[in-house]
Structure 1
């Protein structure tokens, strides 16, 4: 049955007032319950925001040095409990042990990075044209912010948002996805133990139908940061437009990797494979489109085909596994439907290894799939969010760049080339928020600004110093000294 987790509210860990819980299952063994969380309702929600408003005043008064110290202690506790957190991610989300361990380490890095920033500048002196006048630029928190986080990175996405939000002095209410909420509640326990004052962090688990619009429309909310699908993100943008609530959305992607004739295949193949199939393709930054210049196309096609055929699919806890399960039965069905529709529209399968062992018998597993397509087929444009890579051939880099940009998404892209001129031409021409040269479309560090263009994101970047900007406001001060 697993552990029955509680929500952090006002410095206490509590059940839902109705006593109801929601079960969380292992996607590799769908009959195995790995834990449960409270099924909160509207009464619970109002109390969470009430104590968060009080917590915001307490936390703001502590100052950035004290706030940073709490984040640094949290990072130490994350590293200390790395093995348990890794096992929890594997069991509730399905990542391989290596992928989950990497996520835990990255989460610790976010708290270390923003915790150290507690000693950074939180304002500056300004010159003033008036005699005897002192002027300054002050950085202040917003108040109460709401974080809505996804199931695919259930620890690192909360860490990415909590680090800057808390360092800036805000109280945070966080709503994790119900497919993988356990590790977020475990993180709340760590932050509480690290010294976060009561009310500064509140966690909310419950069905959307039970929480309703109140979750995003509570009068105490000053900002909402969301990571998830483009459809939900754009709906949030529309619903909160004109409300005065600041909105940050990190949404979908249809990320393209371009391979030019002069590319180094020893770099291309493993990099493309990792970008497309790691985490079973369930990343907004996953490589899902492969654009190859015709002179090298047959070599790339053959090499990637061989590599995909060798991928091993199974439970994330199993040694030697490359891909774990996808999130649930619905995701499994949707991904396979995308592939079936592509084949009906004329795509051809280059590689699709048959599932064996437990992956063939139970669990939400999907075959890693490499397709040859044309750019008019649906699978070239629609986000699949699974282990599917589609390839097209082009004659020139100009054609390749046009295909990269011919998308409603603009999250990440990459090019493989040995020509520095081609590399910079690509950087300047592509319409994506993240650009890589001879690197995958995924894998951005904690101090790199992160976020997409077009329907992949909003105007606010996450991570780095840019991440602080969303969670803070600027106050300009002028004082006549005599």
Structure 2
């Protein structure tokens, strides 16, 4: 077991007084590493470093910042095998899923490294004689990033790349369950040339350091990805302060299959959206809304696919689903399914697991259920491999069912009608909408984020992310008498 330290002020800092958090492999329960458990009293040093780093990084200039990000992407690609292995052991993803995550992380740094060459301001007209005006985008200063365990490399990259490209200093706190890969990424960025203090990592328990992490007076923005209750509480805590808040939270994402859909395509895509990454995606498909005219045929097709899913350790051959992230997550998912069954849900299909598998590791049986719109499984995010199906009559009932949720992250429709597709795009109350594609899988340059209790006004990814991490200054220059 190795202990990784935090990057603070350009130095790797190990645990003080032996305070550390052990990290385990969810497939085996084996301890694979440890990180420092920082206290509130240690955060002052972190923000002192970030304050100094913000000044140095802003002065570095956009082209030099972009070069560092592109060099970091090359290092991520060069060390992809090691990073993939760490994600598999730390989070439980299959090797294919972990490898894809590493590739996406590199793309984020490449994309925002290139964006450093884009204009960061423009001239605007001024009515005064001999005067011209301009608007300039500049860094905010110190930003705090709080990242989840389900995409432990991709989400830090998604936030770090635009934050650094825009010229900010960063304090990043990874999830307690999966901190090792974030510390490895920080070390890579340090080697790529990020100056001391520009990137600082904080590992520790949110219950002990969470409030202090966002309360420091030097914080200018907070970007959070995680559960809706925590995200909403963060919004309330920061209300009334001159601090930007970006929250990417939960989802209860629906896929609609209309009567004219290509059912084979729909089944293949929905399986990926619902059961990839063991359902541990905020964009995972969890509600299946099917036109009654094709419900029997679709149910038969998808039940066969669900029953054939193979569950096992992420590094095993032929595995479709690895474990969920922890024993706590396993227990929570199982409890929610049991509650839903007690409320009247019924099992349509589930694979038979290897005997003793759920006792050896944090494995969960994937399941396709039938339920109604009063069931808790219809309303509440499960964050596991659980897909529920209801039947509706026509488009109007389908879109009403899609929007019957406090969440509004992602939705999809399967149809061969251009009119139905365009109407769905217009009427679905979700931040992301797909036609004949899964609710998951948004590319690095696609603006990403949800409506209602799934998000906040600021989107991630693409050029929209740079708007969050920068501010606009307007300047007027009189050049003559």
TM-score (norm 1): 0.99
State how 1:159-238 maps to structure 2 within 5 Å.
Answer: 159-238=157-236
- Distance in 1 (CA, whole Å) between partners of 2:198 and 2:353 is 46
Q: Which residue of 2 aligns with 1:26?
A: 25
Residues 134 and 478 of structure 1 are in contact (CA less than 8 Å); yes or no, is this contact kept in structure 2?
A: yes
1:377 maps to 375
Q: CA deviation at 1:19?
A: 3.2
Give the deviation of 1:358 after TM superposition. 6.2
User: Unpaired segments of 5 or more residues in structure 2?
Assistant: none
CA RMSD of aligned residues (A): 0.9
1:415 pairs with one of 409, 413, 416: 413
CA deviation after TM superposition for structure 1 residue 440, in Å: 0.3
**Deviation per residue, 1:9-35 (Å, 9 max, x gap):** 0001011333321110000001x1111
Number of the residue aligned with 1:291: 289
Q: Deviation at 1:175? A: 0.2
Q: Would you say the 8 A contact 2:223–2:245 is kept in 1?
A: yes
Q: 1:468: how far off? A: 0.4
The alignment status of 1:402 with 2:400, answered yes or no, reads yes
Counterpart in 1 of 2:5? 6
In structure 2, C-alpha distance between the alignment counterparts of 1:212 and 1:434, rounded to whole Å: 29
Deviation at 1:167, TM superposition (A): 0.5
Q: Runs in 1 of length 4+ with deviation above 6 angstroms?
A: none
1:303 is matched with which residue: 301, 317, 325? 301
Please list every run of 5 or more consecutive structure 1 residues that lacks an aligned counterpart in the other structure.
none
What whole-Å deviation, never above 9, does each CA across 1:163-217 have from its counterpart, x for those lacking one? Answer: 1100000000000001001000000000000000000000000122432521110
Give the secondary-structure state (helix, strand or coil) at the position aligned to 1:125.
strand
In the TM superposition, what are the counterparts of 1:142-153 in structure 2 within 5 Å? 142-153=140-151
- Matches of 1:327 and 1:17, distance apart in 2: 27
Kindly state the Cα deviation for residue 354 of structure 1 after the two structures are TM-superposed.
2.3
Tell me the distance in 2 between the aligned counterparts of 1:251 and 1:398.
Answer: 27
Please state whether the residue corresponding to 2:18 is helix, strand or coil. coil
Match of 1:85 in 2: 83
What residue is the counterpart of 2:95 in the other structure?
97
- Alpha-carbon distance, 1:454 to partner: 0.2
- Report the alpha carbon displacement of residue 338 of structure 1 after superposing the two structures with TM: 1.2
Give the corresponding residue for 1:343. Answer: 341
From 385, 388, 391, give the equivalent of 2:389.
391
- Kept after mapping to 2: 8 A contact 1:292/1:392: yes
SS at 2:84's partner residue?
Answer: helix
Distance 1:211 1:276 in 2: 34
Corresponding residue to 1:266 among 260, 264, 267: 264
Q: How far does the alpha carbon of each residue in 1:123-169 deviate from its partner, in whole angstroms, 9 at most, with x for none? A: 01111111110111100100000000000000000000001100000
Contact 1:55 1:199 in 2 (8 A): yes
The count of corresponding residues between Structure 1 and Structure 2 is 480
Please name the residue that 1:40 is paired with. 38
Q: Distance in 2 between matches of 1:34 and 1:121?
A: 45
Counterpart of 2:451 in structure 1 is 453
Further displaced range: 168-177 or 372-381:
372-381
* Superposition map of 1:96-115 within 5 A: 96-115=94-113
Secondary structure in structure 2 of the residue aligned to 1:226: strand
Distance 2:80 2:450 in 1: 30
CA contact (8 A) 2:358 2:364 kept: no
1:360-411, Cα deviation, whole Å (9 max, x unpaired): 4400000001001111111001000000000000011110000100100000
Structure 2: how far apart are the matches of 1:389 and 1:404?
Answer: 14
2:58 equivalent in structure 1: 60
Secondary structure of the residue aligned to 1:105 is helix
